[in-house]
Structure 1
Amino acid sequence: MKTRISVILTHFLFLAGFVSFPVFTIPPPGERINLNAGEFSQSLVLTNVLAAAGYYLNYYYFIPAFNLKRKYVHYTIALLLTAFIYLLIPAACNIILNRLAQGFHFIDSLVMPVGPLLMLTLSFMLSYILHKHNEWKQSQRDKMEIEMQKNAAEMILLKNQINPHFFFNTLNGIYALAIRQSDNTAPSILQLSQMMRYVLYESEGEKVLLEKEIAYMRGYVKMQQMRLGSNNSVHFEINGAATGLTIVPLLMIPFIENNFKYGISGNQETRMSITIDLSGQILRFRSENTIVHRDQEDNHKGIGISNVRRRLDLAYHDRHDLSISELPDEFVVQLEIKL
C-alpha cells in the first residue's frame, strides 16, 4: 500500500512539474515579445502535457514492446512517428479553434518545432533512463531473492547432513553399551528418542529457542557419559541466562560430537571441557578436549566442522568469530556469535 501511494505521488509531482513549467518560462510583464502572452503560456502548457504523454507512452509501451525485445528499428520508427504527431496536434487544435471562432490560437509547432521537439526529446530521454534504472533495481532485487532462496535451501541441506552423521555416531555408542550389556543401554535409547524428537519436530524452523538447544546439548553430553569410564573427565557448564534468545539449530553439536568421537579413550586419561557463556545477546562457546592419537584416522573427520563453518557464514555472516586450534595434545574451539 505504501509503495502504491509513493508511485502515485511521484507521478503527480512529475505531471505537476511538467504542466507548471510555463510559469517559469513566461516573459516578465514589462518585456516586449511578438507573441500574445496568453497564447504563449497556453501553448507551453499544451506542449508540456503532450511531452508528459510522450514520457508515459515511451515508458509503458514503446520500451517494453520494442526496446526490450531488441526491435530497435520499430522502436525508432515509433519515436519518430510520435514526434510527427506531436508537432501536428497544435495545428489540428488551431483548426478546431478556428471553426469554434475562439479568440486565441496555439503556437504552430510545425512553424516553430525546435522548442517542442526539445521538450519531447527530454521526456523520451528521461523515461528511458528511469526505465533502465528501474530494470536494474528489479534485477538486483531478483538476484537477492534468488540468493536468499539458495541460502535457505543450502541451510536446510547442511542441517539435514548433521542428522545422519550425528545419529550414526550415537548408535555406535549405544551399540557399544549393548555389547557390554550395560545397564545404561535402555536409558541411552530413551535419551536418544527424546533427542530425535527435538531434531525432527522442534528444530525444523530457521531458529529455535536457545534454552531448548542447550537442553539438547546437555542431554547429548549426559547420554555420552553413560558409556565412558572413570578415566574420561567431562565438564559441561552454562553461565548466564538464555531466556528469550534464539539460535540456528544444531549449530554447536558437531563440536561436542567430535569431542566424544576423537577425545576419549578406553585406557588413557582424557579431559573434556565445554563452556557456554551468555552476556546480553553475545554467546561465547568454548570447547577443549584431549587429543587421543590413533593408528588410523577416521576418513570422515572434519565433515561436521566444515558444515558448521558454512552454516555460520550463511546465518551469521558478519556476526560471528570462530577459532579452532589443534595443539599437540589438545583441540580447542572458540566461537562467539551475536544472536
Structure 2
Amino acid sequence: MSIKTNQVLIHLLCGIVFLLFPVLSSPDFPHIGMTLHNVNGLREVFTHALLIGFFYLNYAWLVPRFYFRQQYRSFYLLAFLFALFTILLIYGLSQLMGAGRAPYPGPPPMPPPGMHRPLHSNLLRMIFLDYNLYLFVIVFITAILLKTNERWRWLQKEQLQTELAYLKAQINPHFLFNTLNSIYALALEKSDYTATAVVKLSGMMRYLISESGKNFVSLQQELDYIRDYIELQQFRLGETAGISYQASGSARGYEIAPLILITFVENAFKYGVNPEQHSAIGISITIAEDSLTLTVQNNKVTISGAATASGLGIRNAQNRLQMLYADKHRLQIDEDAAQFRVTLELKLI
C-alpha cells in the first residue's frame, strides 16, 4: 500500500472518529438514537462536521498558500473570518434546530422509589469539559502542525533525492569523462596545468560529497564550485565555445542552499554547446544589498539525440526554490528561436 493511500485512510479514519466524538462523549452513550434525537446532540454533530471543513480549509489551502509563504497577516485574517463564518453558521443551525421545540414544563420526573437515576456524566466530557468554545483553536493548531510536519518530511525526502540526483546525474558523466581525458592528454604533454585541473576536479567532487547534503552552505563555497566548474569547461571546450563569466560583490557572511545555482549553469553547457555551430555562453553573478542576481544566457544549438532537452533539471531547481525560498526569489526564463536566458534574483541570508 502506498504512502499516499495510507495518508488518505488515516485522514478518513480520524475524520470519522472526530465526527462520532459527540456521540461517544454523550451522557446517553451507548444509546446513539437518544443523542441523535436530542437538539444538543445534533448541534454537536453538525459542529464537528463544520469543524472538519474548517480543518481542511486550513490544511489544504490557508497554511500552504499563506503561512508557508510567510504572509502571516493574510493567513490569520482569513482564518479568523472563516472561523467567524463557521461559528455564525453553527449558531444559525442551532437556532433552526431548536425552533418549534417547547421547553419541558416543570422539573424533570423523579425516578420511582428505590431506584437511582444514573448520573448523566461521561469520562470524555469530564476531561474536555465544554470544549465547543475552544475546539476551533485545537482544530486550527492541529492543521498547522500536521501540514508543517508533512512539509518537513517532504523537504527531508527532497533533500535526500536531490543529493543522490546530483551525485549520480548532475555531474554530467560526459563532462567528467571528457575532463579526465583532457587531463590525461595534459599529463602526456607534461603541461603545467595538469596539477591545477586535477585539484579543481577533486575539489568539486569533495564539495558534492561533503557539502551538498547540508541545508545551507557558505555562499563563497558555492561560488568557488561554480568558478571551478566553468574553468574546467573552458579548458575542456577550448576554442569551440565563447564563454564569459563575471562575478561581483562580496559573499562574506552569506549562506545559500547548496547547488541551487549550478543547475542553470550546467543547463547552458549541456544544451548550448556544439563544436560545429557558434556557441556562446554568458554567466554573471552580482551580490548587492543582501541579494544575489544570477544571469545565464546561451545560444540555442543543435544537440545530439542522447542529450535531448527534458527540462527536468530546471523543474527540480524551480521546486527547490519554491520550497526553500518561497517569496524570497524571482525566477524569469526567456527564450526565442536563437537564445535561452535565465535570470534569478535571490534574497540572501
Asked if TM exceeds 0.5, the reply is: yes
Aligned with 1:285 (options 294, 298, 304):
294
Is residue 146 of structure 1 aligned with residue 150 of structure 2? yes
Aligned with 1:244 (options 253, 260, 270):
253
Amino acid paired to 1:133: F
Structure 1 residues 73, 164: CA separation in 2 closer, same or farther (over 3 Å shift)? closer
Aligned with 1:76 (options 20, 23, 27):
27
Name the SS for the 1:228 alignment partner. Answer: helix
CA-based RMSD of the aligned residues comes to 3.3
Q: What is the number of equivalent residue pairs in this alignment?
A: 236
CA deviation after TM superposition for structure 1 residue 173, in Å: 2.6
Amino acid paired to 1:177: S
Is residue 266 of structure 1 aligned with residue 275 of structure 2? yes
Aligned with 1:127 (options 125, 130, 138):
130
Q: So what's the TM-score if we normalise by structure 2?
A: 0.59
Task: Please give the alpha-carbon distance, in whole angstroms, between the structure 2 residues aligned to 1:285 and 1:309.
Answer: 14
CA deviation after TM superposition for structure 1 residue 302, in Å: 1.6
CA deviation after TM superposition for structure 1 residue 187, in Å: 4.7
Structure 1 residues 290, 130: CA separation in 2 closer, same or farther (over 3 Å shift)? same
Name the SS for the 1:293 alignment partner. Answer: coil
Residue number in structure 2 paired with 1:158:
162
Is residue 209 of structure 1 aligned with residue 226 of structure 2? no
| CA contact 1:290–1:330 (8 Å) conserved in 2 | yes
Structure 1 residues 162, 67: CA separation in 2 closer, same or farther (over 3 Å shift)? closer
Task: Please give the alpha-carbon distance, in whole angstroms, between the structure 2 residues aligned to 1:173 and 1:73.
Answer: 70
Structure 1 residues 133, 295: CA separation in 2 closer, same or farther (over 3 Å shift)? closer
Residue number in structure 1 paired with 2:175:
170
| CA contact 1:155–1:314 (8 Å) conserved in 2 | no
CA deviation after TM superposition for structure 1 residue 189, in Å: 4.2
Task: Please give the alpha-carbon distance, in whole angstroms, between the structure 2 residues aligned to 1:67 and 1:228.
Answer: 65
Deviations 1:221-269 (A, max 9, x none): 1111111132411111111111111111101111111222221222433
Task: Please give the alpha-carbon distance, in whole angstroms, between the structure 1 residues aligned to 2:304 and 2:229.
Answer: 27
CA deviation after TM superposition for structure 1 residue 68, in Å: 8.3
Deviations 1:299-320 (A, max 9, x none): 4532211110110111111111
Residue number in structure 2 paired with 1:235:
244
Residue number in structure 1 paired with 2:78:
none
Task: Please give the alpha-carbon distance, in whole angstroms, between the structure 1 residues aligned to 2:254 and 2:212.
Answer: 15
| CA contact 1:67–1:75 (8 Å) conserved in 2 | no
CA deviation after TM superposition for structure 1 residue 334, in Å: 0.6
| CA contact 2:242–2:281 (8 Å) conserved in 1 | yes
Structure 1 residues 333, 138: CA separation in 2 closer, same or farther (over 3 Å shift)? same
Task: Please give the alpha-carbon distance, in whole angstroms, between the structure 1 residues aligned to 2:341 and 2:175.
Answer: 22
CA deviation after TM superposition for structure 1 residue 74, in Å: 5.8
Report which of the two structures shows the higher radius of gyration computed on alpha carbons.
1
Structure 1 residues 164, 223: CA separation in 2 closer, same or farther (over 3 Å shift)? same
CA deviation after TM superposition for structure 1 residue 70, in Å: 3.7
Aligned with 2:205 (options 183, 196, 200):
196
Amino acid paired to 1:284: T
CA deviation after TM superposition for structure 1 residue 202, in Å: 2.3
| CA contact 2:279–2:298 (8 Å) conserved in 1 | yes
Is residue 137 of structure 1 aligned with residue 88 of structure 2? no
Task: Please give the alpha-carbon distance, in whole angstroms, between the structure 2 residues aligned to 1:156 and 1:297.
Answer: 27
| CA contact 1:322–1:335 (8 Å) conserved in 2 | yes
Is residue 226 of structure 1 aligned with residue 235 of structure 2? yes
CA deviation after TM superposition for structure 1 residue 185, in Å: 6.7
Task: Please give the alpha-carbon distance, in whole angstroms, between the structure 2 residues aligned to 1:136 and 1:179.
Answer: 65
Amino acid paired to 1:164: K
Residue number in structure 1 paired with 2:347:
338
Task: Please give the alpha-carbon distance, in whole angstroms, between the structure 2 residues aligned to 1:203 and 1:149.
Answer: 18
Name the SS for the 1:214 alignment partner. Answer: helix
| CA contact 2:274–2:302 (8 Å) conserved in 1 | no
Name the SS for the 2:26 alignment partner. Answer: helix
Where do residues 82-97 of structure 1 align in structure 2 (5 Å cutoff)? none
| CA contact 2:282–2:298 (8 Å) conserved in 1 | yes
Residue number in structure 1 paired with 2:303:
294
Structure 1 residues 308, 280: CA separation in 2 closer, same or farther (over 3 Å shift)? same
In structure 1, list runs of 5 or more residues that go unmatched: 1-65, 79-110, 114-122
Seq. identity, %: 29
Amino acid paired to 2:201: L
Structure 1 residues 77, 171: CA separation in 2 closer, same or farther (over 3 Å shift)? same
